[in-house]
């Protein structure tokens, strides 16, 4: 008699626990908005194991898609019909036609159905070498899901209608979960009744005073506090450390960030100490690291910057969102710091229209890291998590790491970047940054649907290319970034001279005639961009000298700030280990013993009376 289906049989017996196979799943998320479809997952012997809990007595569908739609998707469908469990591997072509895969790569481990729910557990290799399957990597994965009240028949699954959806996840993020005591103290930094203007993008800034502690505390976890119903409105939240030389009058009001009338006190808030973005969940610091509060070096005043995305210009919105910080007096070994690396946000970051792919690079230069680390921590710092950030045109981001001209393992990457899902990636292993290293934040963009230039800026229609590195021990370095030279970019389109001294912004072009008296932005838009011109421009931009940004806390700067550096010479790029195919599916996973199947039929009548759900 076959051994492995006995687990399925045991799960259906009246005395069986409702938990399933007995496996633990470290990750769990709700996929739909009605609480009907739960996904749990985790690593299991080099594979990924999944558990689907769905309020249906019919089939359950799950899969991976390059865009979140049905086209070119990798799909598995399972359930329990007449007491018999089933799991079938499907795929769709570019026309969304569903076809059964000749290579069955999903392996059923457990199945249960009662009068209200279906539960199935299964495993899959990360890389199957099946051309109809999607390889699962550390990048964002667009999960698709569906269910139906009927099981799969001879003709295949019936159309799911509106019982479907998509959600972006990072399936291989090795989340450092820590169970906090219910008595763990916390405080909230939350906006109070902020009126959201009826415009696409709003950045709202509000200063807060950190609670006064009589001794040092460590923040050990940060959670978003998002007003119910505003999950898509609140796009990201940044928390900055501000100057300590204020009185509490700065706390009296908030204001739009980056506005001419913004309070001067806000301008002192330059050091990012935490970042959260849409789709992300709570963040737990590793057990040996915490965010320090309560000492003279720690923030007394902080600025909460919330980016609201209101593309439909909805009126009358009032928001009360922010962050919750859990803290402890059980001090950990190291204080955490944050470095913002990449491209300084400015109009000098330029992306031509109509480009299926355009690459930008922001440099955390050898010169900046060497000066800061030699002065603060010659033995180096240790990075343990990274948040990669871009806007709507972003398609992929990589944080590359170089030492002595040789590229090391990527610090972080997301080759399937989703603007609506950005969270800190925990590194599988901490990575040391030493004096003399340099980092490149590399961003890929797609502007095929745009007729005008895309500029670096704050709006979601503008672009960014940033990495936020969480590391320890904390040093006095908050920003390590670069700005590409703008004059050589303008020379590419034929600009010869600008009006000097520069008295207006954006500055004005003097010659040649076709650009005379135009701003440099208007001139770039007037240029006739073709794909060929865009590719040549991209090659030029990646080779240009960069202006170094190398900042300390309290608006101070390292001496390298403002100097010009060349992109690093790369002697050897990093070669990732080749993907290894799993062995073809074993018949062990695709067949059942007749005796056990007979038992399933006999036990089928029990399922309607078993109540395994609370």
Instruction: Kindly write down the DSSP assignment for every residue of 379-427, as one continuous string.
Output: T-EEEEEEEEE--TTEEEEEEEEEETTEE-S-SEEETT-BTTBB-PEEE
**Which residues neighbour 135 within 8 Å (Cβ) at sequence distance 6 or greater?**
126, 127, 128, 579
Are 416 and 390 in contact, with CB atoms under 8 Å apart?
no
Q: Report helix, strand or coil for 594.
A: helix
On the 0-12 / 13-18 / 19+ scale of CB atoms within 10 A, 226 is buried
Helix axes 5-12, 594-607, angle to 10 degrees: 20
Q: Give yes or no: 82 in active site.
A: no
Q: Specify whether the CB–CB gap between 141 and 416 falls below 8 A.
A: yes
Confirm if 311 and 199 have CB atoms less than 8 A apart: no
Distance of CA 375 to the CA centre of its chain: 32
| Helix ranges, 31-121 (H) | none
Contact predicate 382/488, CB 8 Å: no
Parallel, antiparallel or unpaired: strands 201-209 and 255-256: antiparallel
Q: Pick the catalytic residue: 37, 59, 106, 203? A: 203
Structure letter (DSSP) for residue 18 = T
- Whole-angstrom CA distances from 229 to 33, 57, 97, 232, 305 are 11, 30, 35, 8, 20
Strands (E), 552-592: 564-565
| Catalytic member of 218, 363, 389, 391 | 389
Q: Can you tell me the distance from the alpha carbon of 276 to that of 338, in angstroms, rounded to the nearest whole number?
A: 13
Alpha-carbon gap, residue 141 to 126, rounded angstroms: 12
What the block records as the tokens of 319 is 């928001």
- Given the structure tokens 């230039």, which residue do they identify? 453
C-beta of residue 384 within 8 angstroms of C-beta of residue 427: yes
Give the Cα separation of 262 and 166 in Å (integer): 39
Quick one: CA dihedral 310, 312, 317, 323, positive or negative? negative
Residue 389 bears catalytic tag:
yes
Query: What are the Cα distances from residue 328, in Å, to 180, 185, 294, 470, 547?
Result: 11, 7, 11, 19, 41
**Separation of alpha carbons 220 and 186, rounded Å:** 10
Residues paired with residue 100 on neighbouring β-strands, in sequence order: 90
- CB distance 498 to 318 below 8 Å: no
Question: Can you tell me the distance from the alpha carbon of 362 to that of 467, in angstroms, rounded to the nearest whole number?
Answer: 9
Q: Annotated catalytic sites, by residue?
A: 203, 389
């Amino acid at each position: 008699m076959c051994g492995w289906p006995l687990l399925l049989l045991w799960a259906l017996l009246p005395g069986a626990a409702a938990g399933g196979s007995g496996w633990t799943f470290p990750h769990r998320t709700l996929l739909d908005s009605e609480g009907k479809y739960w996904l749990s997952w985790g690593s299991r012997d080099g594979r990924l194991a999944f558990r689907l809990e769905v309020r249906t007595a019919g089939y359950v569908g799950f899969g991976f898609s390059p865009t979140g739609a049905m086209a070119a998707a990798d799909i598995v469908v399972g359930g329990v019909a007449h007491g018999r469990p089933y799991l079938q591997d499907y795929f769709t072509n570019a026309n969304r036609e569903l076809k059964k895969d000749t290579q069955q790569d999903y392996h059923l481990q457990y199945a249960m159905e009662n009068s209200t729910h279906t539960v199935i557990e299964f495993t899959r290799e990360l890389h199957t070498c099946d051309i109809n399957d999607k390889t699962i990597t550390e990048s964002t994965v667009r999960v698709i899901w569906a269910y139906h009240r009927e099981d799969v028949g001879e003709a295949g699954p019936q159309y799911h209608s509106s019982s479907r959806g998509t959600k972006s996840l990072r399936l291989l993020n090795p989340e450092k979960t820590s169970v906090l005591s219910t008595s763990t103290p916390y405080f909230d930094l939350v906006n109070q009744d902020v009126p959201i203007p009826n415009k696409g993008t709003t950045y709202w800034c509000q200063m807060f005073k950190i609670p006064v502690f009589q001794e040092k505390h460590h923040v050990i976890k940060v959670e978003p506090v998002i007003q119910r119903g505003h999950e898509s409105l609140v796009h990201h939240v940044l928390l900055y450390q501000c100057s300590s030389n204020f009185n509490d009058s700065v706390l009296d009001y908030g204001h739009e960030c980056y506005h001419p009338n913004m309070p001067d006190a806000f301008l002192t808030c330059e050091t990012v100490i935490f970042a959260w973005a849409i789709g992300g969940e709570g963040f737990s610091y590793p057990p040996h690291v915490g965010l320090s509060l309560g000492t003279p070096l720690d923030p007394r005043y902080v600025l909460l910057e919330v980016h609201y995305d209101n593309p439909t210009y909805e009126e009358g919105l009032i928001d009360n969102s922010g962050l919750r910080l859990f803290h402890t007096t059980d001090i950990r070994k190291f204080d955490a710091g944050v470095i913002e690396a990449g491209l300084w946000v400015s109009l000098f970051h330029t992306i031509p229209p109509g480009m299926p792919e355009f690459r930008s690079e922001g440099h955390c230069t050898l010169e900046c890291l060497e000066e800061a680390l030699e002065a603060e921590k010659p033995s180096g710092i240790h990075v343990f998590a990274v948040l990669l950030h871009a806007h709507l045109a972003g398609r992929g981001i990589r944080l590359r790491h170089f030492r002595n001209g040789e590229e090391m393992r990527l610090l972080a990457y997301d080759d399937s970047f989703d603007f609506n899902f950005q969270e800190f990636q925990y590194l599988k292993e901490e990575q040391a940054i030493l004096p003399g290293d340099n980092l490149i934040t590399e961003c890929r963009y797609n502007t095929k649907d745009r007729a005008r230039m895309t500029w670096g800026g704050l709006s979601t229609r503008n672009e960014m290319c940033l990495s936020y590195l969480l590391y320890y021990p904390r040093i006095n370095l908050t920003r390590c970034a670069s700005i590409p030279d703008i004059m050589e970019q303008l020379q590419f389109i034929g600009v010869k001279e600008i009006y000097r001294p520069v008295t207006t912004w954006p500055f004005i072009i003097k010659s040649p005639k076709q650009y005379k008296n135009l701003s440099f932005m208007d001139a770039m838009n007037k240029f006739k961009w073709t794909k060929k011109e865009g590719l040549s421009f991209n090659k030029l931009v990646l080779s240009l000298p960069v202006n170094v940004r190398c900042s300390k806390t309290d608006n101070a700067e390292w001496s390298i700030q403002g100097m010009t550096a060349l992109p690093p010479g790369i002697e050897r790029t990093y070669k990732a280990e080749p993907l290894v195919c799993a062995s073809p599916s074993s018949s062990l996973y695709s067949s059942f013993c007749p005796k056990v199947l007979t038992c399933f039929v006999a036990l089928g009548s029990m399922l309607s009376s078993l109540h395994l759900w609370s």
